[in-house]
């Protein structure tokens, strides 16, 4: 049986889990795939803190320098599990230039430097696999690239950040305030000590960029993706939304607008309580894909964690190993078919934030006085934004009360213009809360 030799870079949460799970499932993998994957070198700063059980075996394979992995003639493919856009980028580029396929879980790198990486990948005929970069253990990328290859993707939306979903679930189910829910997430190990990257939506935006590139068929520029996090969400808004029949989720939303043209965004979103994603709680990820042939397909499962993520990395690794074997053993001169369509190296157009159309939830703190609603409605009307429903808890005349408006479809640019005018009204006493509403009907 052919053994495929692997260089592993990074021995943290995911790297050590890949090593352990490859060892414990070696026979199963060999039986199922007809190949033996063997890690022959590990580039890591330090193994000692994680060395225990199977990891002790890793110490024998330790090399200090990432360049050694690429230069090692035994290494046939490289698994990058360092993260970030510094050394990981240099390692991947030099692996590809050496013709060595790469497996990575690095969404930040793919989102920010994906085009450079896919151009090098094509130039040197060395593919990149990246299943674990989005939604941890859920085989979503493989489904988009292979299982659903017959489809155009009209719409893809989902919960791709477990930290935010945990916090919003605690706020929804237990009425915890944002800060309290965040502290709990940190205590449970679901949020970093510095949670900025998750709660401000950047992690979800990296994943949305990777998914949008697959939907569009060409690289999406991360810097063009509108991002809004969940810091400003209050239990009050979650409760008003519930009264109106909606649940609040941080979603990545991607709509195809044609070849190499997409709408992509990340923001807290009100979705009908009847939508399946409304009942996805805790750190679970869930993604809905609307294919032109298959219709709606849902995926859900663990979006992070060493073991779950290593499941996705090992799946990629076996695919990459198959590619290596095919390439080395093909009849000389016969062209090797490309692996299922990766992200094209062309740049995709991204719809500007102002052009995006959705429904809106507005909460305004207004003086309880006759004529207030009419003035606000007339500003919205002038911007061609229709009101679909109004909720105003009973208050005392002359006091500040919440006024909740649900609108029909509106362009984001028109909504921003109308809000600027509404905020200037003397009867509006607090900064309006604005949330997008999506029903995903078409
Ligand atoms: N953790 C998850 O649940 C999860 C889920 C999906 C995707 N991912 C992705 O998987 C990748 C790895 O994540 P992780 O959670 O395993 O991170 P991690 O626990 O921080 O592990 C990264 C490892 O790389 C090591 N490293 C840093 N610079 C290095 C260098 N120059 N040479 C060799 N090793 C170096 C680090 O060592 P030091 O600690 O000594 O710096 C650390 O052990 C990231 O791209 C992440 O986005 C993670």
Residue 124's domain is classified under what CATH number?
3.40.50.720
Q: What's the confidence (pLDDT) of residue 57?
A: 80
Q: What is the rounded distance in angstroms from the CA atom of residue 58 to the CA atom of residue 40? A: 9
Q: What's the confidence (pLDDT) of residue 332?
A: 61
Closest approach atom of ligand 1 to CA 87: 31
Kindly give the confidence (pLDDT) of every residue in the chain, 442 residues in length, as a single tens digit, with 9 standing for 90 and above: 899 999 999 999 999 999 999 999 999 999 999 999 999 999 998 776 555 666 778 889 999 899 999 999 999 999 999 999 999 999 999 999 999 999 999 999 999 999 999 999 999 999 999 999 999 999 999 999 999 999 999 999 999 999 999 999 999 999 999 999 999 999 999 999 999 999 999 999 999 999 999 999 999 999 999 999 999 999 999 999 999 999 999 999 999 999 899 999 999 999 999 999 999 999 999 999 999 999 999 999 999 999 999 999 999 999 999 999 998 877 666 655 555 545 667 889 999 999 999 999 999 999 998 999 999 999 999 999 999 999 998 877 779 999 999 999 999 999 999 999 999 999 999 999 999 999 998 7
Distance between Cα 9 and ligand 1 center (Å):
9
CATH code, 380? 3.30.70.260
Structure tokens that stand for 435 in this block: 């949330």
- Which one of 8, 13, 189 would you pick to mutate in the ligand 1 pocket, going by the greatest count of ligand atoms within 8 A of its CB? 13
Q: What's the confidence (pLDDT) of residue 46?
A: 75
Distance between Cα 211 and ligand 1 center (Å):
22
Whether the Cβ atoms of residue 269 and residue 253 lie closer than 8 Å to each other: yes
DSSP alpha helices (H): ranges in 102-233? 107-124, 140-142, 162-174, 178-187, 196-199, 202-216
Does 318 share its domain with 275?
A: no
Give a yes or no: residue 347 inside a domain: no
Does 120 share its domain with 242?
A: no
Q: What's the confidence (pLDDT) of residue 53?
A: 65
- Which one of 105, 203, 207, 209 would you pick to mutate in the ligand 1 pocket, going by the greatest count of ligand atoms within 8 A of its CB? 105
Give a yes or no: residue 157 inside a domain: yes
Structure tokens that stand for 172 in this block: 């929804």
Residue 358 burial (10 A CB sphere; 0-12, 13-18, 19+): buried
Ligand 1 binding pocket (C-beta < 6 A) is: 9-15, 43-46, 66, 81-83, 87, 105-107, 132, 136, 304-305, 309
Q: What is the DSSP letter of 320?
A: H
Q: What is the rounded distance in angstroms from the CA atom of residue 50 to the CA atom of residue 217? A: 39
Range of the domain at 423: 356-437
Q: What's the confidence (pLDDT) of residue 13?
A: 93
Distance between Cα 10 and ligand 1 center (Å):
6
Q: What is the DSSP letter of 223?
A: G
Does 296 share its domain with 161?
A: yes
Q: Which residues are known catalytic residues?
A: 207
Structure tokens that stand for 426 in this block: 């003397």
Give a yes or no: residue 338 inside a domain: no
Q: What's the confidence (pLDDT) of residue 102?
A: 98
The pTM score is 0.95
Give a yes or no: residue 334 inside a domain: no
> Which strand (E) or helix (H) includes residue 331?
none
Residue nearest to atom 10 of ligand 1 (CA): 105
Does 197 share its domain with 82?
A: no
Residue nearest to atom 25 of ligand 1 (CA): 10
Does 211 share its domain with 285?
A: yes
**Helix 107-124 × helix 202-216 angle, to 10°:** 30
Indicate the SS3 state at residue 17: helix
Angle in degrees, CA 207, 156, 434, rounded to 5: 80
Closest approach atom of ligand 1 to CA 16: 16
CATH code, 221? 3.30.360.10
Give a yes or no: residue 337 inside a domain: no
Distance between Cα 106 and ligand 1 center (Å):
9
Q: What's the confidence (pLDDT) of residue 395?
A: 74
Q: What total number of domains does the chain contain?
A: 3
Find residue 284's DSSP bridge partners. 302
Of the CA atoms within 13 Å of residue 295, those in its CB half-sphere come to 0
């Amino acid at each position: 049986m052919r053994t495929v030799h692997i260089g592993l870079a990074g021995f943290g949460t995911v790297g050590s889990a890949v090593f352990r799970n490859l060892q414990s499932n070696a026979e199963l993998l060999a039986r199922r795939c007809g190949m033996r994957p063997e890690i022959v070198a590990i580039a890591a700063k330090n193994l000692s803190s994680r060395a225990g059980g199977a990891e002790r075996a890793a110490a024998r394979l330790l090399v200090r320098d990432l360049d050694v992995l690429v230069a090692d003639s035994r290494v046939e493919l490289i698994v990058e599990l360092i993260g970030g856009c510094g050394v990981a980028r240099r390692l991947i580029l030099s692996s590809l230039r050496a013709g060595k396929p790469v497996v990575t879980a690095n969404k930040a790198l793919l989102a920010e430097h994906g085009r450079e990486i896919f151009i090098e990948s094509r130039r040197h005929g060395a593919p990149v696999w990246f299943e674990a970069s989005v939604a941890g253990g859920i085989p979503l990328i493989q489904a988009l690239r292979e299982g659903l290859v017959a489809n155009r993707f009209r719409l893809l939306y989902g919960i791709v950040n477990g930290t935010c979903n945990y916090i919003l679930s605690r706020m929804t189910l237990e009425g915890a305030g944002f800060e309290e829910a965040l502290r709990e997430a940190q205590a449970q190990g679901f949020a970093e000590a510095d949670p900025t990257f998750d709660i401000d939506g950047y992690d979800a935006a990296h994943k949305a960029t990777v998914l949008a590139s697959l939907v569009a068929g060409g690289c999406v520029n991360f810097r063009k993706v509108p991002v809004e996090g969940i810091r400003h969400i209050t239990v009050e808004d979650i409760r008003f939304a519930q009264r109106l029949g909606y649940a609040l989720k941080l979603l990545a939303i991607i709509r195809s607008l044609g070849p190499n043209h997409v709408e992509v965004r990340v923001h807290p979103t009100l979705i009908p309580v009847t939508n399946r994603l409304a009942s996805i709680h805790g750190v679970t990820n869930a993604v809905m894909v609307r294919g032109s042939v298959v219709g709606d397909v849902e995926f859900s499962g663990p979006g992070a964690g060493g073991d779950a993520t290593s499941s996705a990395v090992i799946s990629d690794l076996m695919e990459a190993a198959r590619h290596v074997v095919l390439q080395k053993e093909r009849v000389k001169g016969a062209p090797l078919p490309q692996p299922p369509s990766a992200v094209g190296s062309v740049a995709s157009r991204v719809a500007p934030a102002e052009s995006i159309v959705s429904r809106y939830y507005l909460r305004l703190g207004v003086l309880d006085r006759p004529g207030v609603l009419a003035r606000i409605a007339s500003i919205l009307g002038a911007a061609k934004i229709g009101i679909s429903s109004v909720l105003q808890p009973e208050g005392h005349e002359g006091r500040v009360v919440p006024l909740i408006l649900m609108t029909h479809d509106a362009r984001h640019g028109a909504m921003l213009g109308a809000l600027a005018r509404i905020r200037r009204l003397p009867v509006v006493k607090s900064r309006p809360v604005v949330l997008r509403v999506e029903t995903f009907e078409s």
